[in-house]
Structures are given as structure tokens and as C-alpha cells.
């Protein structure tokens, strides 16, 4: 059984990797300079030209890109290839300004799927495996990414998407699925449902799971492993950089190897932007050095983590990142979906009669995120019948769903009941203990 | 002819009714009738009081969402079939009842209900025509 999908790259010496990265970075900066006026302008403002970038040691000279740049440049401003050369769009949920729309050439799809193939092989996958993909398909990168990786490895692929859990388990049993790909909370839910249906790990053939798109703890890992009788592997990625597979876990389960031949990782001080030495905790920044259509240079992920080059027992030399330990912004990840409190505020502000006083309460019950939005009642929203108050709740609920792409429980609360601290309402209560 | 009812939004959690009744009691508000409708998450307390303006002011100042709504107060003989007769009148006139509740009369042999219907004027006219007694706030708090 092959241990690596691409041994040459995954186990490359540091020196070889650096020269590969140098060569790719230099070419990528030229490509972006020539094709992305938006970034070229940023470089010019910083007084940097492609001639200044001779190796990865010069990376720090390049300007950062952030979510604000994606918003300013939406939708085509960061595109580096003619649309005729692009074959795919993937996107995050959320509205304009918060939504990320990424473009892919066939080359970009191939490298993305290749990264996912590395993750599947690291989890023990071969062409003998049956890989059940229960990430959402569509604009969300989870389904398409793992689906493509599974094809590359040659697994028999079940493109299930999420939902209909009993049917998931039926397929799992009937077709002998050996690898499961989904969010960790859905994996836990599948595990619980399996037991509720009177089955256990011995009734299924699963051996491994590749879980990502939301934060999860070591305790949750052990729970999923126990419920499903598998080894659970973490995977990381974001739409901005392609999708899942930017980094992946090996059997050591002590962090995720970053596919450095495609993505150069840096850790910076989120306040000063200064690059921090290896082992420091800070904001993760990625530079795509091989993508053609949407090549983001020095993209600030807002995820806080640590990088380590300590030797890994799996034999891979790729740098490892810890699980993200938090965010530098107020983004929440709820059931795999990115939620910003400002989106909730904008829904309420658009309703002429609603109070902008709200509170988000997120918890994890039975390994599934619960998401409640408390909204203070106003005299304008209130009337004497239950059905009219419930109609207000339904209206807010529908507007939130269309804004966030995720269902929230709306709870109307009494005026002034949301606690204020120094005059400012406490907007987010996240009871999930994830770090 | 109608009576003003005050509706108060309340979260469905312990101590809320106690808090609001205490507030009204201390404010010297006389409550003549009350009904509570509730769901899992919230409730609406409906009350008939002697001074609705003062009551709304008191509630608003204390931070409650409260609103005054016109309801129809109907009086009839306290005997079997009397309530059914009231309902029959509404039904025959195509008037839908949103909610209703009864309250105790100080007058022997009489029963009263508060009706919240889709058309108060039509309900009042239809009931009066059939000889039912409609009350106004003054009737309810006649002793004041
Ligand atoms: Zn490893």
C-alpha cells in the first residue's frame, strides 16, 4: 500500500523544497504583476516590483491581501486569467462583501484535487477503497474537493452530499464504505445515528474519516473514532486558497502538513504584520505559488495557529500547522458555515421595525452546533396575538437563512434584556469549547 | 363599544409574570381581567386595567413591550348555553375570534367574556342587535 500520493514532493528535502518554492514564487509574482492590476497597484504603492522578489526570503516585501481586498475587487478584480480559460467557480456562503468567489482553470482544479488525494492517501486510502463524501456539493468546496481527490486516488466514490443520515448509513452498510469525508459534527451525528439504529462499528467497514471545514477538539476526535471505529484525520483549507487540502493530517495526528509546493505559509503578528519566527503563535498567511486563475499572494486567513518543522514520524517533510486556535476577527464557524455578526446586524437593520439589539448563542449539543439568535422585541414588532409575533420570528428566520446560508433559531426576547457591558451589548456567546 | 386591553410581551422564563404584576401593583393599577397565552419561548400577558394610559406608561418606562388593543367585552346571563349563543352570533356574521377569555363579574348571575375578533365594530353591532350587553371601561370599573 503506497504511503504517499506524491512521495517526491511530500518527503522532499528542505533545500529542494526551498528551490522549488523560489522558482514558483518568482514566476507567480510576475504572473500576478502582469495580470492583476489590483495587486500590481498594491505592489507599486509599497515600492515593490517583481525584480525585488528573487526568492522566498523576499516574500515579506509583498503586500498582504485580506478579506477587505476580496470585497473591493469582487468579483473579477483578482482574476489573473481570461474567463475563457476558467472552468469552475466555487464560493462561500454569505452576501456580497462577505462571500468569496474563487475561479479555477483546469490546472487549478487538478492541483486542488491532487492536494486532496494526498490527504486521502495519508488517511490510508487506495484504489481499493470506497470513499463516501458527505460534504455539501455545489458552490461549497468541501464536496467537489474531496470528490476530485477520491477520483484521483481511484477510490470508488459515493457523492452523497450531506443530509438524510439513515440513507447515508444504509449506503455505508450496503456498499461497504471504508473512508468517510464530511464535517466533524456530521461525522459525530452519523456515529450517533448508527448506534441509535442499533448498529455499531462492527456493522460497517469504515476505517478512516477525513473531517474539516469547522473547528473541532481532540475530545471530539476520540468520540468520533469510538462511535465509528475509525481513525479520524483533520483537513484544512479555505475557498480563497482553493478549498480543503491546503493542509492535511498524517497518521501521527499532531497537526496538518501544508502542501508547501503549492502554498507558502507564514505566521505573522496580526497587529504589526511582522513575520514571526517558527514556533510562534500568530496569524496564518498563505501565498499560492501555482494557481493560475485566482493566485492570492500573502492572503491573511485570520486563523491563529503555530507552524512546526519538527521531524514527523510519517516521513513527510512538509511543514505542519496546528489546528486553528482562534480568529483575529469576529467570524464564527457554525456547522461549517462562516458567520459574521455584522451580517446578522444588517438583516435586522433592513427590517424597519426590528431592534438591532441581538445576541448570538452558539453551543454544541450532541456534537452538533446549535445556533440561536436572540433579538430584542420592539413596540413596532409586537402585537397582541401569538400568530403575529410568530410571523415576525418567521420573517427574521427566513431573512437570516438567505443572508447566512444556515438556519438559526430566532428567539425574541424582552427589550433591554441582552446584557450590555459598558453600554455595548455582548454580541456573541460561544459555549463550544473548541481549543 | 369596546374596552382597551393591554398586551405585554414576556419571555417564557421564571419570574416574569411575578415581576410585571408586582410592577403594576406598586403602580396602583387595578387589574380587572387577565389571560396569558404562551408558546415555548414567549408569552403574551393580556390585561384589562382601570387606567390603561398610566399602565402603558408604567410598562414602557420599565422596559416592557406593551400595546393597547381594542377588545369587545360582552355580558350575558350565567347559565348553560349562553356562551354558545354569543359564539353563534359571531359565526353567523362571519366574524373570526383571534382569542377570548372570561372574567368574573361583580354582579350576581352575570358572566363576561373579552373577545378579540377580526372586526370589533361588526361584532359589537351583531351582538347588540341580538340583545347582548356590551360593556365599556366605565362599566367594568364602575365602582371607581
Ligand atoms: Zn506526518
> A99-130: per-residue pLDDT in tens?
889 999 999 999 999 999 999 999 999 999 99
Rounded mean pLDDT, A129-157 = 97
Q: Can you tell me the distance from the alpha carbon of B137 to that of A180, in angstroms, rounded to the nearest whole number?
A: 69
Task: Write the residue in B7, B11, B16 that is nearest to A384 by C-beta.
Answer: B7
Q: Can you tell me the distance from the alpha carbon of A392 to that of A413, in angstroms, rounded to the nearest whole number?
A: 12
Q: Can you tell me the distance from the alpha carbon of B44 to that of B59, in angstroms, rounded to the nearest whole number?
A: 14
CATH 2.60.120.10 fits B71-138, yes or no: no
| Per-residue DSSP letter, A62 | S
pLDDT averaged over every residue in chain A: 93
Q: Mutate one of B36, B41, B46, B71 to test the A interface: name it (highest A CB count within 10 A).
A: B41
- pLDDT score for A434: 63
* Tens digit of each residue's pLDDT (9 = 90 or more) over A320-361: 999 998 888 888 889 888 888 888 888 888 887 777 788 999
* C-alpha dist (Å) from residue A402 to A95, A344, A371, A408: 9, 11, 15, 11
Q: Can you tell me the distance from the alpha carbon of A348 to that of A74, in angstroms, rounded to the nearest whole number?
A: 24
Residue A98 has pLDDT above 80, yes or no: no
* Tens digit of each residue's pLDDT (9 = 90 or more) over A14-38: 999 999 999 999 999 999 999 999 9
Query: B32 to chain A nearest CA, in Å?
Result: 18
Which three-class secondary structure string do you get for A329-398? CCCEEECCEEECHHHHHHHHHHCCCCCCCEEEEEEEECCEEEEEEEEECCCCCCCCCHHHHHHHHHHHHH
Q: How many CA atoms lie within 13 A of A322 on its CB side?
A: 19
B23 near A CB under 8 A: no
Cell 482562534 sits on residue: A326
Per-residue confidence band for A95, with pLDDT thresholds at 50, 70 and 90: low
Domain chopping of chain B, boundaries:
3-70, 71-138
Q: Please name each of the domains of chain A with its CATH number.
A: 7-329 (3.40.50.12780), 333-430 (3.30.300.30)
The better pLDDT of the pair A84, A349 is held by: A84
CB spacing of A384 vs B67 below 8 angstroms: yes
* Tens digit of each residue's pLDDT (9 = 90 or more) over A231-262: 999 999 999 999 999 999 999 999 999 999 99
Residue B42: its chain A contacts at CB < 8 A?
A: 389, 411-412
Residue A180 has pLDDT above 90, yes or no: yes
- pLDDT score for A424: 60
Nearest CA in chain A to B99: A385
Q: Is A327 helix (H, G, I), strand (E, B) or coil?
A: strand
Distance, CA of A178 to chain centre: 24
* Tens digit of each residue's pLDDT (9 = 90 or more) over A207-227: 999 999 888 888 889 989 999
CATH 3.30.1330.10 fits B3-70, yes or no: no
Query: A396 to chain B nearest CA, in Å?
Result: 15
Nearest CA in chain B to A409: B41
- pLDDT score for B143: 47
CB spacing of B67 vs A382 below 8 angstroms: yes
Measured between alpha carbons, how far apart are the two ends of chain A, in Å?
35
Residue A377: its chain B contacts at CB < 8 A?
A: 9, 65
Closest listed residue to residue A407, CA positions, set A357, A362, A372? A372
Residue A188 has pLDDT above 60, yes or no: yes
- pLDDT score for A367: 80
Model-wide pTM > 0.95: no
Q: Is A300 helix (H, G, I), strand (E, B) or coil?
A: strand
Query: B82 to chain A nearest CA, in Å?
Result: 26
Residue B9: its chain A contacts at CB < 8 A?
A: 377, 382, 389, 412, 414
* Tens digit of each residue's pLDDT (9 = 90 or more) over A405-422: 899 999 999 988 887 765
Query: A249 to chain B nearest CA, in Å?
Result: 43
Q: Do domains B3-70 and B71-138 have the same CATH topology?
A: yes
A246-280: string of b/e by CB count within 10 Å (b at 16+)? bbbbbeeeebbbbbbbbbbbbbbebeeeeebeeee
* Tens digit of each residue's pLDDT (9 = 90 or more) over A252-311: 999 999 999 999 999 999 999 999 999 999 999 999 999 999 999 999 999 999 999 999
Q: Which three cell numbers stand for residue A10?
A: 511530500
Ranges of H-type helices in B27-100:
52-61, 82-92
Q: Can you tell me the distance from the alpha carbon of A113 to that of A261, in angstroms, rounded to the nearest whole number?
A: 14
- pLDDT score for B144: 41
Nearest CA in chain B to A410: B41
Closest listed residue to residue A318, CA positions, set A425, A377, A245? A245
Low-confidence ranges of chain B (pLDDT < 70): 1, 142-144
Cis peptide upstream of residue A426 (ω within 30 degrees of 0): no
Amino acid at each position: 500500500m503506497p504511503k504517499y500520493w506524491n512521495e517526491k514532493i511530500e518527503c522532499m528535502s528542505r533545500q529542494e523544497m526551498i528551490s522549488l518554492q523560489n522558482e514558483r514564487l518568482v514566476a507567480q509574482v510576475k504572473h500576478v504583476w502582469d495580470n492583476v492590476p489590483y495587486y500590481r497597484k498594491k505592489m507599486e504603492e509599497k515600492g515593490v516590483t517583481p525584480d525585488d522578489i528573487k526568492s522566498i526570503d523576499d516574500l515579506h516585501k509583498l503586500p498582504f491581501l485580506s478579506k477587505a481586498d476580496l470585497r473591493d475587487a469582487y468579483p473579477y478584480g483578482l482574476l489573473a486569467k481570461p474567463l475563457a480559460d476558467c472552468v469552475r467557480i466555487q464560493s462561500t456562503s454569505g452576501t456580497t462583501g462577505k462571500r468569496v468567489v474563487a475561479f479555477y482553470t483546469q490546472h487549478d482544479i487538478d492541483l486542488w484535487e491532487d492536494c486532496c488525494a494526498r490527504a486521502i492517501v495519508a488517511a490510508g486510502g487506495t484504489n481499493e477503497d470506497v470513499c463516501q463524501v458527505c460534504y455539501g456539493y455545489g458552490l461549497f468546496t468541501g464536496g467537489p474537493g474531496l470528490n476530485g481527490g477520491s477520483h484521483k486516488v481511484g477510490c470508488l466514490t459515493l457523492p452523497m452530499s450531506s443530509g438524510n443520515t439513515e440513507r447515508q448509513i444504509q449506503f455505508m452498510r450496503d456498499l461497504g464504505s471504508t473512508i468517510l469525508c464530511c464535517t466533524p459534527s456530521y461525522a459525530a451525528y452519523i456515529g450517533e445515528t448508527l448506534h441509535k439504529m442499533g448498529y455499531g462499528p462492527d456493522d460497517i467497514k469504515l476505517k478512516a474519516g477525513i473531517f474539516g471545514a469547522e473547528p473541532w477538539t481532540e475530545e471530539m476526535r476520540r468520540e468520533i473514532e469510538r462511535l465509528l471505529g475509525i481513525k479520524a484525520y483533520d483537513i484544512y483549507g479555505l475557498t480563497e486558497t482553493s478549498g480543503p487540502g491546503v493542509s492535511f493530517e498524517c497518521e501521527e495526528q499532531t497537526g496538518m502538513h501544508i502542501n508547501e509546493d503549492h502554498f507558502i505559509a507564514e505566521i505573522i503578528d496580526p497587529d504589526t504584520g511582522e513575520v514571526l519566527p517558527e514556533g510562534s503563535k500568530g496569524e496564518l498567511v498563505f501565498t499560492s505559488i501555482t494557481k493560475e486563475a485566482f493566485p492570492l499572494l500573502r492572503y491573511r486567513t485570520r486563523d491563529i495557529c503555530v507552524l512546526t518543522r519538527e521531524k514527523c514520524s510519517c516521513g513527510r517533510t512538509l511543514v505542519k500547522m496546528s489546528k486553528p486556535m482562534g480568529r483575529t476577527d469576529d467570524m464564527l464557524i457554525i456547522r461549517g458555515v462562516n458567520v459574521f455578526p455584522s451580517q446578522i446586524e444588517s438583516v435586522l437593520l433592513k427590517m424597519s421595525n426590528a431592534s438591532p439589539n441581538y445576541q448570538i448563542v452558539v453551543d454544541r449539543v450532541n456534537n452538533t452546533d446549535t445556533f440561536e439568535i436572540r433579538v430584542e422585541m420592539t413596540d413596532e414588532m409586537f402585537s397582541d396575538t401569538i400568530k403575529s409575533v410568530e410571523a415576525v420570528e418567521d420573517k427574521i428566520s427566513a431573512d437570516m437563512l438567505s443572508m447566512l446560508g444556515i438556519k438559526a433559531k430566532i428567539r425574541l426576547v424582552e427589550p433591554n434584556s441582552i446584557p450590555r457591558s459598558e453600554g455595548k451589548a455582548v454580541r456573541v456567546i460561544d459555549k463550544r469549547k473548541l481549543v | 363599544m369596546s374596552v382597551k386591553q393591554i398586551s405585554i410581551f414576556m419571555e417564557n422564563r421564571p419570574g416574569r409574570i411575578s415581576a410585571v404584576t408586582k410592577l403594576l401593583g406598586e403602580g396602583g393599577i387595578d387589574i380587572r381581567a387577565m389571560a396569558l397565552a404562551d408558546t415555548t419561548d414567549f408569552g403574551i400577558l393580556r390585561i384589562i386595567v382601570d387606567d390603561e394610559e398610566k399602565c402603558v406608561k408604567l410598562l414602557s418606562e420599565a422596559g416592557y413591550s406593551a400595546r393597547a388593543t381594542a377588545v369587545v367585552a360582552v355580558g350575558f346571563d350565567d347559565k348553560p348555553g349562553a356562551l354558545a349563543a354569543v359564539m353563534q352570533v359571531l359565526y353567523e356574521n362571519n366574524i373570526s375570534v383571534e382569542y377570548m377569555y372570561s372574567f368574573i363579574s361583580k354582579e350576581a348571575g352575570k358572566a363576561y367574556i373579552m373577545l378579540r375578533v377580526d372586526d370589533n365594530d361588526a361584532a359589537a353591532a351583531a351582538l347588540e342587535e341580538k340583545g347582548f350587553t356590551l360593556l365599556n371601561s366605565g362599566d367594568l370599573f364602575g365602582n371607581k
